[in-house]
């Protein structure tokens, strides 16, 4: 059930092509039905073919954005994506400590699908030490989880082991995303008293730019709307699966998912009656 009076915030990088980062997050919030706000950490010159430039914003303007947003429209849930540098991470953690939002969803963005590094190597330590412990849920993909636990992940069993290791770093839940393995797209939710597997058929489409951003923003919206963790992940998995299924070719490279497939479906239903 949509409720545009419930505010959600994304703290992330801008993707000029609109498929990932801040733009994907705001589209997802809007599609699922929460009021979306943004704190921009970095600007990328990016399209469906790659990332061609990155400029980080100053700590000062990041702090400023966080404070004016929280002081005026406190978000029910916050999603954190590209954080780029050790200093930016510390600034965000300061903000989280000051305002203490109910739900913090951390998508530990490290490398874009096109292979460009979106997290400086020296920032990994702060990510693990300060940001991951603040998370209600952290949502690594396979390469990110491998980087965090410093171990290869090849099987579902490896995903469980790595997920438990990340859980021991302090978040309440870990969602290990299996999009990078072969076969069905299997994600695993791990918590102290929770273990759930979410499985969908692998969709044979190239348009997966921004899938991780979209999934984590969907979880943020569903949590903000009052769903429990298992239901939020189930609904988000359903949303990303359909968004990939309905994706269309735009640009010359790896295209975005269709964030508003649900609206198009509704229109089709109205037209046929
Ligand atoms: N080809 C696909 N078909 C169906 N689901 C997919 C596909 N690729 C990724 N997913 C799903 O999309 C979500 C994002 O996954 P993943 O690709 O692992 O993350 P990221 O975008 O961060 O690299 C997960 O729920 C994953 O299972
Ligand atoms: C600003 C920004 N944030 C996140 C991603 C990751 O998305 P993907 O893994 O689909 O490239 C990205 N490409 N750009």
Query: Ligand 1 centre from 211 Cα, in Å?
Result: 6
* Confidence at residue 187, expressed as pLDDT on a 0 to 100 scale: 98
Q: Is 266 a residue whose pLDDT tops 90?
A: no
Helix (H, G, I), strand (E, B) or coil at 111: strand
- Phi/psi of residue 96, each to 5°? -65, -40
Which position has the token pair 């998508």?
A: 107
Q: Give residues (CB < 6 A) around ligand 1.
A: 141, 177-180, 185, 187, 200, 202-203, 208, 211-212, 215, 237, 240-241, 244
ipTM of the complex: 0.98
Rounded CA-CA distance 202/152 in Å is 22
* Residues listed for the chain: 273
Rounded CA-CA distance 90/127 in Å is 9
The overall average pLDDT reported for the chain is: 96
* Confidence at residue 242, expressed as pLDDT on a 0 to 100 scale: 97
Query: Ligand 2 centre from 10 Cα, in Å?
Result: 13
13 Cβ closer than 6 Å to some ligand 2 atom: yes
Contact 261, 174 (CB under 8 A): no
**pLDDT tens per residue, range 180-218:** 999 999 999 999 999 999 999 999 999 999 999 999 999
- pTM value? 0.97
Four-CA torsion 118, 259, 64, 128, nearest 10 degrees: -40
Mean pLDDT, rounded, for 254-268:
89
Q: Is 101 a residue whose pLDDT tops 60?
A: yes
Which position has the token pair 């990332």?
A: 51
Q: Which ligand is nearest to the CA of 210?
A: 2
Helix (H) or strand (E) holding 68: helix 59-72
Which position has the token pair 């540098």?
A: 85
* Confidence at residue 268, expressed as pLDDT on a 0 to 100 scale: 75
* Confidence at residue 223, expressed as pLDDT on a 0 to 100 scale: 98
> For residue 165, what are the contacts with CB-CB under 8 A and spacing of at least 6?
148, 149
* Confidence at residue 55, expressed as pLDDT on a 0 to 100 scale: 98
For residues 269 and 44, the model is more confident at 44
Pairing mode, if any, of strands 7-15 and 35-47? parallel
Domain residue limits, the chain: 7-271
Mean pLDDT, rounded, for 217-228:
98
Ligand 1, atom 16: nearest CA belongs to which residue?
A: 179
Ligand 1, atom 18: nearest CA belongs to which residue?
A: 179
* Confidence at residue 271, expressed as pLDDT on a 0 to 100 scale: 63
Query: Ligand 1 centre from 200 Cα, in Å?
Result: 10
Closest CA to 240 of 199, 181, 191, 182: 199
Q: Which ligand is nearest to the CA of 253?
A: 2
**pLDDT tens per residue, range 232-243:** 999 999 999 999
**pLDDT tens per residue, range 116-140:** 999 999 999 999 999 999 999 999 9
Q: Which ligand is nearest to the CA of 23?
A: 2
Query: Ligand 2 centre from 226 Cα, in Å?
Result: 27
The CATH superfamily holding the domain 7-271 is Ribokinase (3.40.1190.20)
Confidence of residue 170 (pLDDT cuts 50, 70, 90): very high
* Confidence at residue 264, expressed as pLDDT on a 0 to 100 scale: 82
Helix (H) or strand (E) holding 44: strand 35-47
Q: What is the largest CA-CA distance in the chain?
A: 57
Rounded CA-CA distance 164/191 in Å is 8
212 Cβ closer than 6 Å to some ligand 2 atom: yes
Q: Is 273 a residue whose pLDDT tops 60?
A: no
Percent of the chain with pLDDT over 70: 99
- Residues assigned a catalytic role: 177, 208, 210-213
């Amino acid at each position: 059930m949509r409720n545009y009076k419930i505010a959600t915030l994304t703290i992330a990088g801008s993707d000029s092509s609109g498929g990932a980062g801040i733009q994907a997050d705001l589209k997802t919030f809007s599609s699922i039905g929460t009021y979306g706000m943004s704190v921009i950490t970095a600007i990328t010159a990016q399209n469906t073919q790659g990332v061609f430039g990155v400029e980080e914003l100053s700590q000062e303007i990041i702090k400023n954005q966080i404070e004016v947003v929280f002081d005026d429209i406190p978000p029910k849930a916050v999603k954190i994506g590209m954080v780029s540098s050790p200093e930016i991470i510390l600034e965000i953690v300061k903000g989280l400590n000051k305002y203490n939002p109910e739900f913090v969803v951390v998508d530990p963005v490290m490398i874009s699908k096109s292979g460009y590094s979106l997290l400086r190597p020296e920032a990994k330590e702060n990510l693990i030490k300060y940001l991951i412990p603040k998370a209600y849920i952290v949502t690594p993909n396979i390469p990110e989880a491998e980087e965090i636990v410093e171990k290869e992940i090849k099987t579902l069993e490896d995903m469980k082991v790595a997920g438990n290791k990340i859980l021991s770093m302090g978040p309440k839940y870990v969602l290990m995303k299996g999009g990078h393995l072969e076969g069905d797209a299997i994600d695993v939710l791990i918590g102290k008293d929770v273990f759930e597997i979410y499985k969908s058929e692998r969709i044979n489409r190239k348009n997966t730019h921004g899938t991780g951003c979209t999934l984590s923003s969907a979880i943020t919206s569903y949590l903000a709307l009052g769903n429990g963790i298992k239901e939020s992940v189930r609904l988000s998995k359903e949303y990303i699966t359909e968004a990939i299924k309905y994706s269309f070719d735009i640009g010359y490279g790896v295209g975005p998912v269709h964030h508003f497939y649900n609206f198009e479906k509704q229109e089709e239903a109205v037209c046929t009656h």
